[in-house]
Amino acid sequence: MGGFTFAKISLILIVAASTLAVCTANKESPPPKYRQGPNKIIVGGSEGWRFNFSYTGWALKNGPFYVNDTLVFKYDPPTDNTTIPHSVYLLPNLRSFLTCNLTGAQMLANVTQGGGEGFEFVLKRWKPHYFACGQHDGIHCSVGQMKFFVMPMLRWFR
């Protein structure tokens, strides 16, 4: 119960490697302006939440993310065969994220909630958050790259 399992050690290594990658990626660009309050971040930037876009790459380039930052998922609601429907799920763990397994996942936003101003999710806790599109039993996640994770950092005020 108190020991380290392979899964725990793997998660620690992945989080550490991701943090290092973000720090290394941000090393060459000037640091973002310091802001007192939380940020509102549109997932995917101008691309929004769509099929066949690398959200893992986007998250690495747009981090770090902080506790109390708001992620905004914007996607068009489905129409008569002209728009591919999307949703947003919070996956329970790293294994679910890696395999795009929706068992035990929590639906955060259905196919209509991304329209207009989009669906907002506040990163309330200092823990990994695994996001994915759940449409077609995870196909959008596994084939369409519609997944990413963030480990929000604590914001230290000056």
Q: What digits encode the pLDDT tens for the residues 100-145?
A: 999 999 999 999 898 889 999 999 999 999 999 998 888 899 998 8
Report the distance separating Cα 27 and Cα 14, nearest Å: 20
Name the nearest CA neighbour of 52 among 64, 44, 60. 44
Contact call for residues 58 and 45 (beta carbons, < 8 A): yes
Contact call for residues 133 and 141 (beta carbons, < 8 A): yes
CA 37 to chain centroid, in Å, comes to 20
pTM of this structure: 0.75
**Which CA distances in Å does 69 have to 9, 13, 34, 56, 145?**
27, 24, 14, 18, 23
DSSP string, 35-71: -SS--EEETTGGG-S-SS--HHHHHHHH---BTT-EE
Task: Report helix, strand or coil for 148.
Answer: strand
Q: What digits encode the pLDDT tens for the residues 54-91?
A: 999 999 999 899 999 999 999 988 877 667 889 999 99
Residue ranges of the domains in the chain?
39-150
Please give the single-letter amino acid code of residue 142.
S
Q: CATH number for 39-150: choose from 2.60.40.10, 3.90.1150.10, 2.60.40.420, 3.40.50.300.
A: 2.60.40.420
